[in-house]
Amino acid sequence: MDDAERALAEAERVLRQNWREGEAAGVPYAYTEPSPGRYPWQWYWDSCFAAIVNRRFEGDRARAELESLLAAQRPDGFIGHTIFWGRRVSGFRRAFYNVATRTARQTESIQPPLLAWAWRIAVGDPAAEARIGAQADWLLANRDLEGDGLLWIVQPDESGLDASPKFEPVWGRRANARPGFPLLVRRNHRLGFSARRVRERGGPVLCETLVNTLWSLSLRALGQPSATPALVERLWDERRGAFVDWAEPGQVRPEALTWDALAPLALPDLPEEIGRRLVEEHLLNEEEFLTPVAPPSVSASEPSYEPGGSRGPIRRYWRGPTWVNSAWLVWLGLRRLGYEEAATRLADGVIGAVEREGLREYYDPRTGAGLGARDFAWSALVAELAEPDPAATRSHL
Ligand code: GLC
């Protein structure tokens, strides 16, 4: 076996091992635990990534996993960030989890909405499943605060990039993993997690790049007008050659350069000259994102770059190490734009790290040392790098 075959085998092993099925209050569920023990519940975007890879090994499970998200959907179309199948959110976690009540079945917060895109890749036409369209309608009705088709979030963790340094100018001491975070959760709870109410009460609310990149991919998958032109219009910063979030009130544009500034590379309809700037000025820049295992979640040029993972009792995610979902999303852009050699180098870096360390939650970008949780499901996306699926690459990726 070569490295690529071993990475594929490891992806399959972990997805099989982390598979859970059951029934809660009469509703059957089935999903991939992100990491056994550490993350027991169903996380929305983790499930989308797991389903994308599982189409290779267990097509029925890919569908069942996404259908479990739909089984948790509220009548108004909303689907939460985390679904607490089986066991409820426990003890001290309630201060950090965005739940309405102690017995809630899911959070009141969202995660990047890539369900329609994942469905397109793993199952079929999302427009044929009315509940997927209903989630998109909920998002437009509740999170498109300015009517241009872009979504706004009310907490850092709604982006999936919990403690990224880019959130500090926006939420300050109330950002994830900072001491005031439970206060942010409490305040948003009081406001019913309504982005409109949060904004009316002085915010902050954030138009965030990764959420809107995955949202645009989902709209395209649904056959609806793409959000990419609006994303470029609002978040593309011509001077920096990167995408920069936008917070209100006060039009705050966070300065820290983080990998998600390059995430729109995954968009097939991203204007080519923008894609080339992202690649040539940042992704292939050794001072920023071109590390042996790339791309680091924070540019190596940032003072906040912590490539070895954060130290101390509180886990602070997305502050330097490389995550496999990020590598895959920017790799899609490298392939599309014809940077074949760079795409191969990036894939080889990740495949090598997985080969040596197994599926870890994230990796040291300098050495590939495995960090964070073990047997981490979405790192199975290494399969997409190890054995690119030509059909998927052509039609929806
Ligand atoms: C961490 C990550 C988040 C992920 C969750 C479960 O909170 O930041 O993106 O969904 O773990 O894996």
Q: What is the pLDDT along the chain (397 residues), one digit of tens a residue?
A: 899 999 999 999 999 999 999 999 999 999 999 999 889 999 999 999 999 999 999 999 999 999 999 999 999 999 999 999 987 777 667 667 788 877 889 999 999 999 999 999 999 999 999 999 999 999 999 999 999 999 999 999 999 999 999 999 999 999 999 999 999 999 999 999 999 999 999 999 999 999 999 999 999 999 999 999 999 999 999 999 999 999 999 999 999 999 999 999 999 999 999 999 999 999 999 999 999 999 999 999 999 999 999 777 788 999 999 999 999 999 999 999 999 999 999 999 999 999 999 999 999 999 999 999 999 999 999 999 999 986 665 555 5
Whether residue 158 contacts residue 205, with contact meaning beta carbons closer than 8 Å, is answered with no
Q: Where are the alpha helices (DSSP H) in 156-252?
A: 168-171, 181-190, 195-200, 209-221, 228-235
For the chain, what percentages of helix, strand and coil (3-state, to nearest 5) are there?
45, 10, 45
Both tokens of residue 17?
A: 């091992």
| Atom number in ligand 1 closest to CA 35 | 12
Structure tokens at 141: 């009705």
Q: Which residues are paired to 35 by β-bridges?
A: 39
Of 38, 46, 84, 318, best ligand 1 pocket probe by most atoms within 8 Å of the beta carbon: 46
Sequence-distant (6+) residues with CB within 8 A of 44 are: 69, 79, 80, 81, 82, 83, 110, 111, 112, 115
CA of 262 to the centre of ligand 1 (A): 20
For the CA of 317, the nearest atom of ligand 1: 8
Residue 19, ligand 1, Cβ within 6 A: no
* Ligand 1 centroid from CA 157, angstroms: 8
Ligand 1: which atom is nearest the Cα of residue 378?
Answer: 12
Q: How long a stretch of residues is the chain?
A: 397
Burial class (CB in 10 A: 0-12, 13-18, 19+), 360: buried
What is the spatial distance between Cα 395 and Cα 134, in angstroms, rounded to a whole number?
Answer: 24
Is 365 in contact with 300 (CB distance < 8 Å)?
A: yes
- SS3 state of residue 106: strand
Q: How far apart are CA 140 and CA 151, in angstroms?
A: 7
- Supply 267's token pair: 């968009």
Nearest-atom index, ligand 1, CA of 81: 10
Q: What are phi and psi of 56, to 5 degrees?
A: -75, -30
CA atoms within 13 A on the CB side of 28: 5
Atom of ligand 1 nearest to the CA of 34: 12
CA-nearest residue, atom 4 of ligand 1: 160
**CB 96 less than 6 A from any atom of ligand 1:** no
* CB of 57 sitting under 6 A from ligand 1: no
Among protein residues, the one with the nearest Cα to ligand 1's atom 7 is: 162
3-state secondary structure of 373: coil
Taking the centre of ligand 1 as the mean of its atom positions, its distance from the CA of residue 238, in whole angstroms, is 31
Ligand 1 touching residue 317 (CB < 6 A): yes
Point out the ligand 1 atom lying closest to the alpha carbon of residue 376.
Answer: 12
Task: Enumerate residues 6+ apart whose C-beta is below 8 A from 20.
Answer: 29, 30, 31, 32, 33, 85, 86
